[in-house]
Amino acid sequence: MKFNVRLKQLRQRNRLTQSELAQMLNLKPTAISNYESCRNEPSLEKLVSLAKYFDVSCDYLLGLTEAYLPIGGEVLDKDIVEFFNNYQKLSPESLALLHEYIEFLIYRQEKR
């Protein structure tokens, strides 16, 4: 997946307009629009700022990996990476159900 698509997905998932995201990162209002339409590419500094803001790796933003991993250098096992990959594909409604189910599983586990 290309950078422009990845950026748009992350922005929309966080319910931000292009202008809101630009303002949070001290960019011009048109910067995010230009990134998403492939008219412009971010500098290395801005790429890192975007990755930090969304708490993803630069590799993920650039489409070099499908793993939606937080920045921090942790090495995660294959099951966790697979879970993150599937998690990022869920709709907001499915995410809400997943969170409820996780809470139920923790509750049930603690009752044992």
- Give the domain ranges of the chain: 1-71, 76-112
CATH number of 1-71: 1.10.260.40
- Residues 1-40 as b or e (16 or more Cβ within 10 Å = b): eebbebbbebbeeeebebeebbeeeebeeebbebbbeeee
**29, 19 contact by CB (below 8 A):** yes
Q: Which residue has the tokens 């500094």?
A: 45
Please list the ranges in the chain whose pLDDT falls under 50: 71
**80, 72 contact by CB (below 8 A):** no
Report d(CA 55, CA 47) in Å as an integer. 12
State percent of the chain over pLDDT 70.
89
Classify residue 50 by burial, with Cβ atoms within 10 Å: 0-12, 13-18, 19+.
buried
User: Which pLDDT value is given to residue 80?
Assistant: 77
**41-67 pLDDT, tens digit each:** 999 999 999 999 988 888 888 988 776
